Structure 1
Amino acid sequence: MTDRYLPPKKIPTSLWDSPQTLLRLPTQLTTAYATEIEARNLLDAAINNEPDTGPTGGISPQETELHFATRFSGSCGRTALAALDPKSELRDASDRIIGALSGGKVSMLDIPCGTGAGAAALLTTIATLREQDCIPCHPLEVRLLGGDNSPHALQIANSLWTRITPALRTQAITLHHELMKWDVKDEASTVDLLSKWLNKGHDSRLHFILAANFSGFLGTSSNLKNAQSQLNHIFQWAGTRAAQTIWIEPQTNIADSFLSELYANAIKRVRRLFTTSSENPLKPHAKSECTQQHPLTKPKRFNVRLSLMMLDHKERTP
């Protein structure tokens, strides 16, 4: 791809070491994560367990904190990899993400937000690119709504997003965040979520949905069946707002099957949407992978594998 907003050769070494194909998380994010980990006495769990292992979620505080200690960094890595696309494997995903967060008022919905990895990684990556003069530093106001079914995860996300807010402000990014309990299988809960998101962003330049790491729950046919009507409802409202939707999953057979089924079901019912991350309608997602530096112990590295699907409004110019 030519004429990208962020050509791979311009990605700063603080985020990407090209010879080693090594991804590094933004300093603002690693600092906030380390502080949060230490405050919760989770440093041993975060360092001694293999990254991207452990529970994929959980309602109990114990499961949620172990998830935060072990899977947070991998979730951040997949989101940062999508935004940077250093190997040019994700078509125009990087351009769409950077363009969406280029300035003005943006209403962002992060579902399921979990402990806040996706939005935190996305915004701190943009902040680092601004700091390194890789992209323009226009004033950006982000109205961020996170929804998740775990009250303890919401508590951690709230704390983490609060910690990164001052660092974002130094790069002309103003973050207003709010979180709410959300059950993807419940109609009333989904209506409440969408109503709050749309009301918060009534005068926004752009609406943006970040969905990530849902295949662990929705990868089973029964859960997806029970949630599909609510997901279609979200897609329909996204279409009315010409919203951009980025869906990020780990690169697994379950996730790949889930994304294909999700897209096939949605496209039958939501005519305003089309996929931009793959030319193959049977596999409407793109893939990329790299090695990532552990945010808490630099010598430690692990693999990050990403499956990405982007949905966009049909009337928008690709």
Structure 2
Amino acid sequence: MTAEASQTTRVPLRERPNLPILVSFACIVLLLLVGSLYSSSFLSPEYLVQQLKVASFLGVIATGMMLIILLGQIDLSIPWVVTTGAMMASAATAYGPLGEALAVPFGILCGAAMGLISGIGVAYLRIPAMIVTLAMNVIAQGLMVAYTGGFSPADSASPAMRWLATGTLVFGVPNAILVWAAVGALAVFALTRTTFGRAIYAIGNRESAAYLSGAATQRLVMAAFAISGALAAFGGVLLAGYAGKAAQSMGDAYLLPAIAAVVLGGTSILGGRGNYMGTVAGVILVTLLQSILSVMQIAEFGRQIIYGLVIVAMLLLYGRAKALR
């Protein structure tokens, strides 16, 4: 890369969106205080650990979504990639000890394959990400309905899946939280310390400039979608382990929350700017918001309306900010 291009790729890393992160954490504190008015357990250590455990599933999925949004793209295949990962991992357990041992990687591999296909469509065929990922979501839905005959899957989660989602390993901390921490640490390292991460930011700012600087933009976009699919499927594997089995449409509840968590944390939905700590804050904020809305008995359609309004508001905010640069 030229010196000018290298400087361009570093700019988004230095411009850390501290204000959105601070606002997100302030909102987390506010939600906890509001929740404590309904129940004193909202501030108990047990409740906070449980909420972090629930947030970890969304956190793994949102990590992949953040990669895609940093590119200035969107991944609408999340719902049924999550479900496919859960179903395929559970299906592998029916093949004896070897199937149980390979259940988790098999589920992740299925998600990576679907993400790879979407990435090829976006990077090489130049199909808009919204179209190709929506098509992949429908294809995955059709395949899973055909596999199950339209009924709830009979396969159960493997012991390893249950242990990852519900077990504890270190000082009573749920394994699901540790898994999210490990995924997050890898994401931070990749985005801040590798050429891959700098190129992701550069492509999100201006793909043509990144290409002219020597970045293999097509392969990077394809790889980002594959990683997003793998992480979505991994989230499904964890959800299946948490519930004991996979279920039809279990990923439907994670599309808008994943997008909302990423943009709430300050990642520009137009690409090129973002900080993983903001995504962590956004995930916790969305999880607490879901909990409080449940306590307040807000219907599911009301929650979806709230997520949609958040996404539109952040799009307007970051759209103006980017236009002024």
Same fold, TM exceeding 0.5? no
TM-score, normalised by the number of residues in structure 1: 0.25
TM-score, normalised by the number of residues in structure 2: 0.25
Q: Which structure shows the bigger proportion of residues in helix conformation? A: 2
Kindly indicate whether structure 1 or structure 2 has the higher relative contact order, using CA contacts under 8 Å at least 6 residues apart. Answer: 2
